[in-house]
Amino acid sequence: MSKTRLTVGQALIRFLAAQYSERDGVEHRLIEGCFGIFGHGNLAGVAEALLEAELSRPGEFRYYQARNEQAMVHTACGFARMRNRLSTFACLSSVGPGATNMLTGAATATVNRIPVLLLPSDVFATRASDPVLQQLEHFDGRDVSVNDAFRPVSRFFDRVQRPEQLVDALLGAMRVLTDPAATGAATICLPEDVQTEAYDWPDELFERRTWHVPRPAADPASLARAVEILKSARRPLVVAGGGVIYSEATDVLRQLVETTGIPVAETQAGKGSLAYDHAQSVGAIGATGTTAANALARTADVVLGVGTRWSDFTTASRTAFASEAVRFVNCNIAGYDAAKHAGVSLVGDARTVLEQLGGALGGWTVDPSYRLEARTRAEEWDRIVEGAYCVRHSPLPAQSEVIGVVNSVSGPRDVVVCAAGSMPGDLHKLWRTRDPKGYHVEYGYSCMGYEIAGGLGVKMAAPDREVFVLVGDGSYLMMSQELLTAVQEHVKLTVVLVQNHGFASIGSLSESIGSERFGTAFRYRDPVSGRLDGEVLPVDLAANAAGLGVVASRVRTVAELSEALVASRAETRPVLIEVETDPLLPAPDSDSWWDVPVAEVAEHAATVRARERYEQARTGQRRYL
């Protein structure tokens, strides 16, 4: 067997460049390249290997310079999600704070079942120089480093203490990255001395390797039970989750529900499973859902969940499905999710299982009156959306008006990106999605700061689409620096920055539990009261973005925003448009609930009243047995 002598860092890069995924006969680069920030932990190892690759094998494996380690993981997540989890990026960091900066990104990826490869540097395996700079000395375990914090937020974790361990670590990580039932963050820790050590590697390690992504079918017995339950339903409802999008099952879902007449509600990750104006679409479900979907959920007798993990927002903290007789059929690639709510588990690929269901259901259909009810409710909600889009508040617009303008200016294949604050909830219920990949909201982890970094990844994955990033001032202030990476790489983003001088979402939630928006506004401290309720802070975030090389502007009205968005299409550089909104103007109500406990004992009258409302609301919670 022929061998090549390389360092661990050099072997790592050559291996990653040769990995491919394949589904339905179509191959994709599995690791499209890497983001990285260098320090003493990886400068002589992986960084040297990247330099050597660019000099000797140009274009084989591209390096991208990031500004923040957490942000580069978000960018990889945005890219991988847009590519339906068939391609992703590697993320490289130095030892210590550079590594732990990636923890939030790792959790975001794992919670959302998105594949990313994390390569944090680690302390010396030889311990010859202990304690090295940035090393955590753990008194109860000399083999513990800060990287052990990755264990609970990764789906795969390994530490390469000797060069020959790299092979098993890489193969194990690739297995997880290409397993749709087990994917998430795959973390391989690389001690800084081991990265530079040479080893004689078998040449077959660097040969092109293709990882098949399967489409498993549900077993016949489970399918038969599911079909029996569905055929017994009088008021069935489909809840479409992210698995519908990732498995490219939208056409099969559409055919199934057109035949059967079952209405379709969507989770955040599943929004776009049907076009918003499809006859069977009733829109978003749960705490941030539409009145149409939530009304049907309350009386549903059978719920077919496809590719959803049944989060508290989707189930309105287990109050959405109120019928005592409701039963669940769960189609999911992961058995863990398929078994939730004591449902009949259809463990398999969403597209394959929906094809199985379509064939087994034959000509079965719901009563025509139920079809009409679902359509009528959906049309009623769409009129509410139109009103929220077009009502004109003064002097400042409502957030719903901003959403309406962006929706009207964007094209059918354009993508809206968001993550945290009040905007995701408003988008979920109000955004008119026309394309399965046109809606990209990270709401599994609701990670503030994801928006711009994730939008960068979305655009890199789909350069032919316009990408509109909607971000609040709170999230922008947490993580906006990847705008500079977008400028550097000539990646065009259009960022709509909603300026409401605070944390609007938590402000509203605070008010609902009787805390009256305490600590949620961006204001000076009042010298008399000592509280943060003085004048508004004089920030100019458009100027901040302009300082990073972005084409930035400020607008005050809905008309000015529309003009600026239309003009932005002609730009080739990243664009940021700042618009001030009134945080006290809410979007239309979902007629739903979310469980946020209220203090059981309080002196404040508003809190006491909120506790009374809370006690009443949670009487509707139930466990599905």
pLDDT tens by residue, 102-130: 999 999 999 999 999 999 999 999 999 88
Secondary structure of 280-335 in the HEC alphabet? CEEEECCCCCCHHHHHHHHHCCEEEEECCCCCCCCCCCCCCCCCCCCEEEEEECCH
What's the pLDDT score for residue 505? 84
Asked whether residue 287 is domain-assigned, the answer is yes
What's the pLDDT score for residue 548? 97
Segment holding 579, helix H or strand E: strand 575-580
What's the pLDDT score for residue 517? 87
Q: Which of 187, 212, 237 is the last residue of a domain?
A: 212
CB 525 within 8 A of CB 608: no
CB 106 within 8 A of CB 174: no
pLDDT-wise least confident of 92-101, 299-308, 390-399, 446-455: 390-399
Confidence class for position 623, pLDDT limits 50, 70, 90:
confident
Judge if 430 and 312 occupy the same domain.
no
Asked whether residue 368 is domain-assigned, the answer is yes
What's the pLDDT score for residue 23? 98
- Taking 90 as the threshold, does the pLDDT of residue 512 lie above it? no
State CA 295 to chain mean position distance.
27
What's the pLDDT score for residue 508? 86
Judge if 418 and 306 occupy the same domain.
no
Judge if 243 and 302 occupy the same domain.
yes
Judge if 544 and 566 occupy the same domain.
yes
What's the pLDDT score for residue 482? 97
Neighbours of 5 (CB within 10 A): 10
Judge if 204 and 231 occupy the same domain.
no
Residue type, 450: Y
Q: Which of 212, 235, 251 is the last residue of a domain?
A: 212
Query: Residue-wise over 500-528: b if at least 16 C-beta within 10 A, else e?
Result: bbbbbbbbbbbbebbbebeebbbeeeeee
Judge if 332 and 426 occupy the same domain.
no
Q: Give all strands (DSSP E) within 51-115, no chain letters.
A: 62-65, 88-93
What's the pLDDT score for residue 513? 84
What's the pLDDT score for residue 504? 84
Judge if 353 and 416 occupy the same domain.
no
CATH of the domain at 241: 3.40.50.1220
- Taking 90 as the threshold, does the pLDDT of residue 142 lie above it? no
What's the pLDDT score for residue 35? 98
Tally of domains in the chain: 3
pLDDT of 255-285, one tens digit each?
999 999 999 999 999 999 999 999 999 999 9
Judge if 455 and 479 occupy the same domain.
yes
Asked whether residue 589 is domain-assigned, the answer is no
CATH of the domain at 70: 3.40.50.970
Q: What is the pTM of this model?
A: 0.97
What is the arrangement of strands in the sheet containing 439-441, beginning at the earlier edge strand? 439-441, 415-418, 467-472, 494-499, 575-580, 551-555
> What range defines the domain where residue 567 resides?
391-501+537-580
Asked whether residue 453 is domain-assigned, the answer is yes
Instruction: Tell me 591's DSSP state.
Output: S
Asked whether residue 518 is domain-assigned, the answer is no
Judge if 149 and 230 occupy the same domain.
no
Asked whether residue 123 is domain-assigned, the answer is yes
Judge if 206 and 248 occupy the same domain.
no
Q: Which of 146, 179, 212 is the last residue of a domain?
A: 212
Which residues fall within 8 angstroms of residue 601, CB to CB, at 6 or more apart? none
Judge if 175 and 271 occupy the same domain.
no
Tokens standing for 297? 């959920």
pLDDT of 2-15, one tens digit each?
999 999 999 999 99
Residue type, 319: T
What's the pLDDT score for residue 570? 95
Percent of the chain with pLDDT over 70: 100
Asked whether residue 521 is domain-assigned, the answer is no
Asked whether residue 590 is domain-assigned, the answer is no
- Taking 90 as the threshold, does the pLDDT of residue 507 lie above it? no
pLDDT, average across residues 51-77: 96
How many angstroms separate the CA atoms of 535 and 548, rounded? Answer: 28
- Give the strand pairing for 3-7 and 198-202: antiparallel
Judge if 175 and 297 occupy the same domain.
no
Percent of the chain with pLDDT over 90: 91
CA torsion through residues 513, 516, 518, 522, sign:
positive
